[in-house]
Amino acid sequence: MTGRPEVLFWVQHLLGVGHLRRAAVLARAFRRAGMEVTLVSGGMPEPGIDLDGGTLVQLPPVRAGDRYFKTLVDSGGTVIDESFRQRRLALLLDAWRAAAPDIIITELFPFGRRQLRSEVLALLDAAGARRPRPLIVSSVRDILVEPPKPERSEEMLDWTRRFYDRVLVHGDPDLIAFDETFSLAAGIADRVAYTGYVVEMPTRRPGGPGTGEVVVSAGGGAVSEELFRAALAARPHTCLGGHVWRLLAGHALADDTLAELAAIAGDGVVVERARTDFTSLLANCTLSISQGGYNTVMELAAARARAVIVPYAGGLETEQTLRARLLETRTAIRSVSENGLGPETLAAAVDAAMEGPEPELPDIRMDGAGTSARLLREWLS
């Protein structure tokens, strides 16, 4: 192939913003590798998403209406109907025709996002009928949430075999293999390629933003209030009570809740919205307290940061808890279960994290973005 390959990248976040942030890291890597990128996002708009010159197409946004992801609602909280779905599909197909992509990537699907299968399958049907047919790739994290019904795994396997040429697994089998959370992975072993973890590698700068601070974060903020309140209550009971604590609230946290947290924070605590220099804050901070999303946890590991994470375990979620358990033996990360979260348990975990040895870079691959770009170029050629 000559020229710059065109990539159409579909991504849908429903609760946090981790899926969108990871897709943006990949999009920037694709741009650096000489590709044009159209990122089609179906979740709530997130300020500050950097695609390094790529095109962002925002579909009418949907989000989860409950912790079990059974109900999808629009930005105003109204359950979406068929006419809403058709408007989204029309805009998605418009973006596909405009991009005329050489590569189509779907983030998580077919291993998740089943609620939106109608629009993704319609896109894949259209792509399959085009000549020349584009390369079709799934981009999936290392750990899947166990499906509630066994037949869902069979469905994932069938869709992969029918539509997909390749599966990019953004992980390292030396930490956890894909088949440990997808039992039918052997049926697509010829299509699976491990990339290593997709990490925006942080840079530690002495005296830079976050130096000496305790950074408290919770991704997009949809389920962050309990963690923030526990952190504020735990602060005076920790060995870091004299440090500046910085609470970073995602845009899904209501303004009145943010104002209430700021009012009770007290001296030495900064309460603000999430910042675009988040990875720099993690690299420079004395300690991080956060939920256990893929992006944040791997950025903490790459930054060799001391950290306490509280894995999100709402609904049927198991992914964050499993990754936290795997990484505790290799990093300076300590965890507190969501069910056991309180000022006392959080304060004890903070002190335990500070008492451990100086963190080292774990022996797992973290070159996932660059490797993904290289693999796409190889597969096209």
pLDDT at 203 over 80: no
pTM above 0.75? yes
The answer to whether 6-198+366-380 and 214-355 have equal CATH topology is yes
pLDDT digits (tens, 9 = 90+) for 97-149: 999 999 999 999 999 999 999 999 999 999 999 999 999 999 999 999 888 78
Query: What does the alpha-carbon distance between residue 287 and residue 281 come to, in Å, rounded to a whole number?
Result: 10
Q: Which CATH number fits domain 214-355: 2.30.40.10, 3.40.50.2000, 3.40.140.10, 3.40.50.1820?
A: 3.40.50.2000
Give alpha helix (H) positions in the chain.
18-32, 82-99, 117-129, 150-163, 225-234, 255-265, 278-284, 294-303, 319-328, 343-355, 368-380
In sequence order, what are the residues at sequence separation of 6 or more whose Cβ sits closer than 8 angstroms to the Cβ of residue 66?
315
- Between 61 and 276, the more confident residue is 61
The structure tokens 């609230």 sit at 249
**Per-domain residue ranges of the chain:** 6-198+366-380, 214-355
Angle between helices 343-355 and 225-234 (to 10 degrees): 70
- pLDDT (0 to 100) of residue 208: 87
The structure tokens 């319609």 sit at 122
Q: Which two tokens stand for residue 208?
A: 């830079």
CATH of domain 6-198+366-380: 3.40.50.2000
Strand order in the sheet with 307-309: 269-273, 245-249, 214-217, 287-290, 307-309, 333-335
- pLDDT (0 to 100) of residue 368: 98
pLDDT digits (tens, 9 = 90+) for 74-84: 999 999 999 99
